Amino acid sequence: MELERHLNIAPAPPPRPAPFVLGAESYENMGRLYTEGYHICPVAFGQVRDEGECLFCVNILESK
């Protein structure tokens, strides 16, 4: 640490965690929830869909 400060070297950034990947079963469960009338998007997760299709939810389902 003292040497880094003396040499004016920035410490290495911490390693990034591996991206979270959903499996096929997760997408099936989310699709089932969506067809039952619930939001699966982060904007309104778990709330009842009152106004037809939600573009955020559909985008999640199509990103599979």
Residues 4-19 pLDDT 10s: 666 766 677 888 887 7
**pLDDT digit string, tens, across residues 21-34:** 778 888 899 999 99
- Label residue 51 by pLDDT band (50, 70, 90): confident
Q: 59: closest CA among 49, 39, 47?
A: 39
Q: 41: closest CA among 60, 19, 20, 21?
A: 60
Q: Distance (Å, rounded) from C-alpha 64 to C-alpha 58?
A: 11
Q: What is this structure's pTM?
A: 0.62
Q: What is the pLDDT of residue 14?
A: 84
